[in-house]
Amino acid sequence: MKEITIALDGMGGDSHDPQAVISALRFAFNLNQSLHVMVFGAASLKTALDRSKLDHSRLSFCLAPENIPQDASPKAVLTHYQKAALTQAILAVKEGKAQAVVSSGGTGPLVTLARHYLGCISNMRPALAAKIPGGKDKFSLMLDLGANASCSPSDLYDFARLGHCVLQLAWGIDRPKLCVLNVGSEQGKGSKLVKSARDLMLSDASISCGGFVEANRLFCGDADVIVTDGFTGNVALKAAEGVAHLFAHQQGVKRFFALLAKPEWLQPWHYNGSILLGVRGNVIKSHASATSEALAVAIVEAWKVAELDLCQKIAQHLES
């Protein structure tokens, strides 16, 4: 098994508790025996890591105490935050010291840095893609989940091609069914954006377009790849999360029933770790409010992506 190192941004995310990072690393090391992690963060994190009982032979640390605010402009990100943990972690991937980066920081800075330092495939706009549950033992890949607030039909078509590559190269599905998220499944429904994107997809014989899918069928496994703009995708998944949260976070006896009622395949931490597709490097975004278990899942996802060298394979596939 080849040795793989993941660069972890230890400063991003809502929690800056070193113990949360340590728990995540403990889970991740248990889940995957050939994982190495290079942590970028503050001195307090280094102290805590040094004192921890983690396997130190699988761990290295780089001091990078700065965090990039979620709402920093692209210009500010590139000029003022060269020593930030996320910047340094992405540079480690660029320089080959790590094979993938994991960050719970803001999407904006992550996309800006990945585009700038790693570069885009065929001038595509990168998109965040996540595995979502589609019933027992079924999954769909959904993109974009927030890298692009507004998109053109050709952006959506690019997202479809990127998703197609992931299903073929990583999930082993030869001819995945690609659908566009829309307000109805009927042909004539929806915005010009989704209709034009659907037409572009239909005109490409190398991919299989299944038309439209409605948001109430998002978790039914109707499509292998669900294509949408980053604004709609982000809103759809957050609305779904919001309702799941309402069920899970009730008071008293209802909370207990909710835990018993939850479908096993709908545990949210099973699904942490979106991949930024369309850049020349393996970049994984973890949820800002991810638990330690969820962050561990994102780190292991990053390992799998790096092991396949997925982003490089996608680049070869789309540029050949």
Which residues bind to its own copies, rule: CB under 8 A?
A: 70-71, 73, 108, 146, 149-150, 181, 183-184, 186-193, 214-220, 230-232, 234-247, 250, 253-255, 257-258, 260-263, 266
Q: Among 93, 139, 136, 98, which Cα is nearest to 118's?
A: 93
Question: Which is nearer to its own copies, 80 or 254 (by Cβ)?
Answer: 254
**Which run of H or of E encompasses 106?**
none
Q: 129-164: buried (b, 16+ CB within 10 Å) or exposed (e) per residue?
A: bbbbbbeeeebbbbbbbbbbeebebebbbbbbbbbb
* Min CB(285)–its own copies separation in Å: 14
* Min CB(268)–its own copies separation in Å: 11
* Min CB(180)–its own copies separation in Å: 12
Question: Which is nearer to its own copies, 43 or 239 (by Cβ)?
Answer: 239
* Min CB(232)–its own copies separation in Å: 5
Cα–Cα distance measured from residue 36 to residue 138, given in angstroms and rounded to the nearest whole number: 30
Q: Among 47, 129, 88, 111, which Cα is nearest to 305's?
A: 129
**Which run of H or of E encompasses 274?**
strand 274-277
Question: Which is nearer to its own copies, 171 or 247 (by Cβ)?
Answer: 247
* Min CB(289)–its own copies separation in Å: 10
Question: Which is nearer to its own copies, 1 or 243 (by Cβ)?
Answer: 243
Structure-token match 């091609």, residue found: 161
Question: Which is nearer to its own copies, 185 or 312 (by Cβ)?
Answer: 185
